[in-house]
Amino acid sequence: MVPISYYKPKRICVNRFDASLKTTGDQMRRFVIVGTRAMSKGKLPLNDLGGGAGRMDVLIRALMAALLTSHGIRKNVEVILILGGGPGPSRRIKFVGSQLIGLHAEERSIAGQIAAVIRQPMPPRGHWVSRNPGIFDGGGDLEMTLKEWNHPIIRLDAEAPSLFAGEIPNQEQSHSDEIGFIIGDDKALDTARGIPRSLGKEWLQGNACITIVHYLLDQGIPIQL
């Protein structure tokens, strides 16, 4: 089992919160999943997703946790995979739940869809090209993605304050129709962007973190900003 890695800020996180975000269960949820070694172009080795493909298996499991339910696709979820392993510049593949057709809960099937994308010429940075219904291809990296998001962004960090309080907070709750989360692969995230928050003291795999986040938001549990 490969633990998820988090960026570890040099500063000490103090145990206080600026605000509580009210969750409603139907908010737009965006996940950016960073593959530091994931192939950005070429022929994806479908029989070696955990090795030659640059831990593409970790990204696919996180993608499945973000988008798929037992019998369908979450319509209020968007996922961006950052493929930073080359060759060449990093690439982004965006999956839009409300538009996806034919996404199956099978790792190799999804790997085949990613393989079909990275065989294509990479679009310029900041431009999205539709490859299939709900699947978009573009150049760019994590920092570009975060600049494009105009809503609260959570960077999961096991050493940060808790994402949720376990009880209804006393302070006034804010509300946002959108929220984003930064998830890494098995390497440390090289960014200090986003609000650092923890899901517990254990270092969890990315797909497990996403499942917990979905549960909190589905149940309408306030999260701490």
**Domains of the chain, CATH where assigned:** 26-224 (3.40.1280.10)
Confidence at residue 24, expressed as pLDDT on a 0 to 100 scale: 58
Determine contact, residues 194/154, Cβ cutoff 8 Å: yes
Burial 205-214 (b: 16+ CB within 10 A, else e): bbbbbbebbb
* 3 state DSSP class of 131: strand
With 0-12 / 13-18 / 19 or more C-beta atoms within 10 angstroms meaning exposed / middle / buried, residue 46 is middle
Confidence at residue 6, expressed as pLDDT on a 0 to 100 scale: 34
Confidence at residue 22, expressed as pLDDT on a 0 to 100 scale: 60
* pLDDT by 10s per residue, the chain, length 225: 333 333 333 333 333 344 556 665 678 999 999 999 999 999 999 999 989 999 999 999 999 999 999 889 999 999 999 999 999 999 999 999 999 998 888 999 999 999 999 999 999 999 999 999 999 999 999 999 999 998 999 998 888 899 986 554 444 445 568 999 998 887 777 788 899 999 988 888 999 999 999 999 998 888 888
* Cα 42-190-203 angle, rounded to 5 deg: 100
Instruction: Say which DSSP state 162 is in.
Output: B
> What CA–CA distance (Å, rounded) separates 55 from 66?
17
Confidence at residue 25, expressed as pLDDT on a 0 to 100 scale: 63
With 0-12 / 13-18 / 19 or more C-beta atoms within 10 angstroms meaning exposed / middle / buried, residue 17 is middle
Confidence at residue 19, expressed as pLDDT on a 0 to 100 scale: 55
Total-model pTM: 0.85
